[in-house]
Amino acid sequence: MMDWTDRHCRYFLRQVSSSAFLYTEMITTGALLHGNVERHLAFSAEEHPVAAQLGGSEPDELAQCAALVEQYGYDEVNLNIGCPSERVQRGAFGACLMAEPELVADCVRAMRQAVRIPVTVKHRIGLNAMEDFPFVEKFVQTVAEAGCRTFIVHARNAVLKGLSPKENREIPPLKYEYVHRLKKNFPQLEFILNGGLTTQAQIANQDSLVDGVMLGRAAYHDPWVLAESGNSRHSVAIKMHRYCQQQVARGASVRHIARHMLGLYHGHRRARLWRRLLSDSARLAHNDPALLLEALDAVESTSSQEKPDPEIPHERRS
């Protein structure tokens, strides 16, 4: 979710769900050690519970960055070794680290020694041709011995050559049964299932088999999949208007906030109108938060024809 789940996106998702555990985009260790820490780690208090996701392969550097994450007040620090992009591979981290479970264990151990907040790992079930269950089972066992208690598992293989990141999210077959077996074999650990989940029914089917689910692009494109009973799109839009006013007064751009809200009315009769208004270049050029109210009024002129908001009573990770 690099370049997607920035602080504005997370604040928006928090208005949709008060309980979902939110995650930052993956932040490389180099970006924190040599870049603008405030830009990468600053967040609004309303975002809690929220975790920072790191990308790296040097235990000492990850330990330093984990300490920064804790100093900024995050509730968890997550090591992402599931990303298959070439940009990440060139940095010798991401999914390629699944081939080096001992190194991942060293990274987790160093991070845990540096912080008191939980250190978790996000990973795939296999790598290239290594896709048998014993491969991921050994990986989890090795990393768990270093003290990791929570594993967020994207239930697909990562293919580092020949597939784009998008294809890696679609072509390798989903093997939910691998994650279910991990939970059965390691009942003392927490397993969060990721990959391919897009509907409430699909999510509900996993409730008794794993400890939770993580949604990425599915929640970005259709945020209401995270919604809680009693919440409304109208209420979310009003809260985001207030937030937008505050952020614009601090120098933020309406465009950078509104772009994360395009899916709020997904499935609504006037969803296309909502998206068009919030992405209108001429309107955005004024940098006026009132655009959100204008779009809300336009959509709700036919609110009686809106589909009922779905109810999702249990907690989700996003």
Active site residue 83: yes
Instruction: Spell out the SS3 assignment of the chain.
Output: CCCCCCHHHHHHHHHHCCCCEEEEEEEEHHHHHHCCHHHHHCCCHHHCCEEEEEECCCHHHHHHHHHHHHHCCCCEEEEEECCCCHHHHHCCCHHHHHHCHHHHHHHHHHHHHHCCCCEEEEEEEEECCECCHHHHHHHHHHHHCCCCCEEEEEEEEECCCCCCHHHHCCCCCCCHHHHHHHHHHCCCCEEEEECCCCCHHHHHCCCCCCCEEECCHHHHHCHHHHCCCCCCHHHHHHHHHHHHHHHHHCCCCHHHHHHHHCCCCCCCCCHHHHHHHHCCHHHHHCCCCHHHHHHHHHHHCCHHHCCCCCCCCCCCEC
Q: Of 139, 170, 166, which is closest to residue 156 (Cα–Cα)?
A: 170
Single out the catalytic residue among 65, 83, 96, 244.
Answer: 83
**Two tokens at 223?**
């945020």
Per-residue buried b or exposed e for 168-183, using 16+ beta carbons within 10 Å of the residue's own CB: bbeebebbbebbbebb
**Two tokens at 175?**
């093997």
CA contacts within 13 A on the Cβ side of 63: 13
**Catalytic residue set:** 83
